[in-house]
Amino acid sequence: MPDSAAAVERPVVGTRLPRGTTARVVLASSRNAWADLAATFTPLTWTLGWLGRIVAQVIFYALIGSLLGSPDRMRYLYIGAAVVATAMETLLVVSTSTRERYSGTLPLLVASPSRLWPVFLGRSVQWLPSGVATATVALFAIGPAFGVRFTLSSGFAAFGVLVLVAITTYGYGLALAALVLRFMRLRNWATNLSYTVMMLICGVTVPLSFWPVWLQGAAQVFPLTHTLHVIRLLEGGTGDSLTILTSLGLAVLTSLGWYGVAAFLLERLATAGRRRGSIEFAES
């Protein structure tokens, strides 16, 4: 049989990026993400099901502030709940990443010539725009009913920060997913625990100053702490440029650290799996 007939036909990826590059792997993997989103939601089910649920959750927290008889408290809780919705949705990277092990495709990814971290970097990007869209509707469309108001310029800036919330939290979620891929028993509670911790100490429900100094320091490792602070400053019109840029810089730096941890853990997982054959084709 001629060699050409024995050659395996590769799927076509419509890009001019050279084969084998990290960018091409991320792009190819992200197509899985968009297909996954299309299979999970239609525009109608996303709007009425997912968006409606998250908006109801945000309003619930605002009503707690209303019961406290404080408009400022109501606005504080509303902004925190709306912004953390982006982080919460981004953390779904843990669920979609671990699905690769449950479905038995992880050993095939480990056996492929590509590095593992670019595959997972693109695998769950569908949650980023979805999370940003959810918080955008909550903050700008429904927020004014609860006293949350932005000027035109601060609104555009806040939207940009929401995008940064998604990107920076994705790094933390990816590191968490890399850990869970090795210890699958952590899958069910790891995301919920992380979400709860962020709700408590990142300034979502109570100011950072409420907590002891050591816990305030621990909160700095979460990018959400810094990005949420910026959105509060923009909404209140109280932040100067230096404070805002410093907080955004800290969010980016902590996020880069989490992306680095994620890449390290994923490559360690792949190396150990190739050496010991310890990654099963299905994990029950």
The pLDDT tens digits of the residues spanning 8-63 come to 444 455 556 666 678 888 888 888 889 989 998 999 999 999 999 999 999 998 89
Tracing tokens 């939601």 back to the chain, one arrives at 41
| Other residues' Cβ atoms within 10 Å of the Cβ of residue 22 | 14
C-alpha–C-alpha distance, residues 156 and 249, integer Å: 19
What is the dihedral sign for C-alpha 103, 107, 111, 116? positive
C-alpha–C-alpha distance, residues 206 and 98, integer Å: 32
- What is the pLDDT confidence band of residue 109, given thresholds at 50, 70 and 90? confident
Cα dihedral angle (63, 68, 70, 71), rounded to 10 degrees?
A: 0
- What is the pLDDT confidence band of residue 277, given thresholds at 50, 70 and 90? low
Question: What pLDDT, on a 0 to 100 scale, did the predictor assign at position 29?
Answer: 86
C-alpha–C-alpha distance, residues 265 and 283, integer Å: 19
By percentage, how much of the chain surpasses pLDDT 70? 89
Sequential DSSP letters for 122-146: HHTTTHHHHHHHHHHIIIIIIGGGG
Sequential DSSP letters for 86-128: HHHHHTTHHHHHHHHHHTT-HHHHHHSSS-HHHHHHHHTTTHH
Within its chain, how far is the Cα of 150 from the centroid? 24
- What is the pLDDT confidence band of residue 7, given thresholds at 50, 70 and 90? very low
Q: What is the mean pLDDT of residues 236-245?
A: 88
Which of 197, 180, 174, 178 is closest to 84 using CA atoms?
197
Question: What pLDDT, on a 0 to 100 scale, did the predictor assign at position 13?
Answer: 53
C-alpha–C-alpha distance, residues 247 and 251, integer Å: 6
Q: What is the mean pLDDT of residues 194-217?
A: 93
Mean pLDDT of the chain: 87
Residues with Cβ within 8 Å of residue 282, at least 6 apart in sequence: 102, 103, 104
pLDDT tens-place string over residues 150-178: 999 999 999 999 999 999 999 999 999 99
Question: What pLDDT, on a 0 to 100 scale, did the predictor assign at position 3?
Answer: 47
Question: What pLDDT, on a 0 to 100 scale, did the predictor assign at position 6?
Answer: 45
What is the dihedral sign for C-alpha 210, 216, 220, 222? negative
C-alpha–C-alpha distance, residues 20 and 258, integer Å: 24
C-alpha–C-alpha distance, residues 143 and 141, integer Å: 6
State yes or no: pLDDT of 250 exceeds 90. yes
Question: What pLDDT, on a 0 to 100 scale, did the predictor assign at position 2?
Answer: 43
State yes or no: pLDDT of 267 exceeds 80. yes
State yes or no: pLDDT of 203 exceeds 80. yes
Question: What pLDDT, on a 0 to 100 scale, did the predictor assign at position 111?
Answer: 75
Two structure tokens written together for 36: 């996954």
C-alpha–C-alpha distance, residues 261 and 171, integer Å: 9
Q: What is the mean pLDDT of residues 137-150?
A: 93
Burial of residue 164, with CB atoms counted within 10 A of its CB: 0-12 exposed, 13-18 middle, 19 or more buried: buried
More confident residue, 283 or 237: 237
State yes or no: pLDDT of 282 exceeds 80. no
Least reliable range by pLDDT among 81-90, 100-109, 132-141, 235-244: 100-109
C-alpha–C-alpha distance, residues 119 and 36, integer Å: 15
